[in-house]
Amino acid sequence: AQSVTQPDIHITVSEGASLELRCNYSYGATPYLFWYVQSPGQGLQLLLKYFSGDTLVQGIKGFEAEFKRSQSSFNLRKPSVHWSDAAEYFCAVGAPGTGGFKTIFGAGTRLFVKA
């Protein structure tokens, strides 16, 4: 069965600094990988997704993620963080299984942005 680990419960970065949020997955084949963001008081919104092809994926709001098969990772990055990026970020892995395609989420990483 697939699983997702987000090692960092929370991260604090300064506004304008670069950001990297870690995500490791466990799955026997090439997974389908997602990053979602949950802003305060909001629902979860898809940032980006990876299925195949180019391992560097561009998403909304200036985010990107890189799939590294050798490390079973799908880390999320942003070159320059804005205060509005403060939110909780969830990595997810999806895979075909009994009954259809199922998505499993990591525990999330809360991002704090300081001025």
Partner 1 sequence: GAGVSQSPSNKVTEKGKDVELRCDPISGHTALYWYRQSLGQGLEFLIYFQGNSAPDKSGLPSDRFSAERTGGSVSTLTIQRTQQEDSAVYLCASSLARTGTEAFFGQGTRLTVV
- Residues of this chain that bind partner 1 (CB under 8 A): 6, 32, 34, 36, 42-44, 46, 49, 51, 88, 90, 92, 94, 96, 98-108, 110
CB of 30 closer than 8 Å to CB of 96: no
Closer to partner 1 at the Cβ: 59 or 78?
Answer: 59
Question: What's the closest the beta carbon of residue 23 comes to partner 1, in angstroms?
Answer: 12
CB atoms within 10 A of CB 114: 11
CB 24 within 8 A of CB 72: yes
Of 28 and 43, nearer to partner 1 (C-beta) is 43
Nearest CA-CA partner of 105 in 25, 18, 40 = 25
Least Å distance, CB 80 to partner 1, is: 26
10 Å Cβ neighbour count for 107?
13
Matching residue, tokens 């909001």 = 42
Q: What's the closest the beta carbon of residue 40 comes to partner 1, in angstroms?
A: 12
Q: How far is the CB of 25 from partner 1 (least distance, A)?
A: 15
